[in-house]
Amino acid sequence: MHLFASDLHLSPRSPGATALFLDFLAGPVRQAEALYILGDLFEVWVGDDVADAWHRNIIAALRQTSDAGVRLYVMHGNRDFALGEAFAAAAGVQLIPDPFDLHLPTWSFVLAHGDALCLSDPAYLAYRAKVRDPAWLARMLKKPRWLRTLLGRYIRWRSSRNKRGGQTYADLSPDATDDFLRTHGYATFIHGHTHQAATHDHIVDGIHVERWVLGDWHEDRGDYLRWDGERLQRLSITAAAV
């Protein structure tokens, strides 16, 4: 069994979502072979040198899950783009590229955060290009931790301002998505980023391809997908269910 989640946006300011994630790791995830987190596990991440108790608790829970035999894979999102190998080693996770081709015995998937295909938002694409640039990231990580913390606060403020203004992430560009599916062998596409949980049907070169969009997590509910070897199913974990 393989599980997929995205856009948890965990932070000390989201105690409900944090508790759900910890219960998710201790519950459904322990029954799985692998968990794939497709970006934005954290609301913000400005370097692997974080040392506060909240972050240590999340890292310890991931490590306990990994030590229990569950394979954990984490993809960078547009918020936690600075996750590095020190975090991966401490948490017992493997960082995977975006996109990532996943070939299982009974089916093939292509996994992505999804933001690279939002071509109708040039301002966002410019931001993405900057933070994904290795040279920019290296310079940012060399700055003092207090300065990086200020950057993280700015990113959170900018996001909350956009939400108050009614702005939402644009959906993926249809033509770019079809090209992406063609490039990746018409595999079932799973992604997050848009916070718009849905299943879309694409006909590419006469081939039917499904695109599953993961929903974002809230204080009282988390969205995830489960592949049991035969079918993909959308499930949720709620505060009442744990």
Position 152 pLDDT exceeds 90: no
* Nearest by Cα to 113 from 21, 10, 40, 222: 40
Contacts of 12 (CB under 8 A, 6+ apart): 18, 52, 54
pLDDT in the model for residue 58: 96
Position 165 pLDDT exceeds 50: no
pLDDT: which is higher, 240 or 176:
176
pLDDT, tens digit, 9 for 90 and up, residues 7-49: 999 999 999 999 999 999 999 999 999 999 999 999 988 888 8
Please identify which residue in the block is written with the tokens 């909350």.
160
The CA distance from 45 to 152, in Å, is: 7
**Across residues 164-188, what is the average pLDDT?**
84
**Across residues 58-84, what is the average pLDDT?**
95
pLDDT: which is higher, 169 or 195:
195
- pTM as predicted: 0.91
The CA distance from 37 to 58, in Å, is: 14
The CA distance from 98 to 75, in Å, is: 7
The CA distance from 242 to 57, in Å, is: 19
Q: What confidence category does residue 142 fall into, taking pLDDT thresholds of 50, 70 and 90?
A: confident
**Across residues 77-84, what is the average pLDDT?**
88
Under CATH, which number does the domain 2-241 receive?
A: 3.60.21.10
The CA distance from 138 to 84, in Å, is: 11
Q: What confidence category does residue 242 fall into, taking pLDDT thresholds of 50, 70 and 90?
A: very low
The CA distance from 18 to 191, in Å, is: 21
Q: What confidence category does residue 166 fall into, taking pLDDT thresholds of 50, 70 and 90?
A: very low
pLDDT in the model for residue 138: 82
Position 114 pLDDT exceeds 90: yes
Instruction: Give the single-character DSSP code of 122.
Output: H
